[in-house]
C-alpha cells in the first residue's frame, strides 16, 4: 500500500486509495486514470513479497462497492 501511494505521487495520479478492509483495497479513481491505476495496483500488490506461490490480484470496477463485486 505504501508503494502504491509512492507511485501515485511520482506519476502525479489524482486518484486516491480510500479504504483497506482485510485483503481488499478500495480506490476513488479519476475515470481517465483507470487503466493506469489498475496497472500500478496490480504490479505493486503482486510483487509486494516473494512467496512460493504467486500472489494473484483480482479487480472490480463500479460506481459503488456492490457494483465492483
Structure letter (DSSP) for residue 12: T
Backbone angles phi, psi at 36, to 5 degrees: -65, -45
Model pLDDT, residue 65: 87
Model pLDDT, residue 69: 86
pLDDT tens digits, 14-51? 999 999 999 899 999 999 999 999 999 999 999 998 89
User: Measured between alpha carbons, how far is 35 from 40 in angstroms, rounded to an integer?
Assistant: 9
Taking CA atoms, 45 is separated from 2, 37, 63, 69, in Å, by 10, 12, 22, 19
Amino acid at each position: 500500500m505504501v508503494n502504491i501511494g509512492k507511485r501515485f505521487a511520482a506519476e502525479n495520479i489524482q486518484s486516491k486509495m480510500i479504504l483497506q478492509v482485510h485483503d481488499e483495497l478500495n480506490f476513488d479513481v479519476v475515470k481517465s486514470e483507470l487503466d493506469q491505476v489498475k496497472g500500478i495496483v496490480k504490479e505493486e500488490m503482486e510483487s509486494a513479497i516473494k512467496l512460493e506461490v504467486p500472489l494473484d490480484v483480482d479487480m472490480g470496477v463500479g460506481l459503488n462497492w456492490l457494483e465492483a463485486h
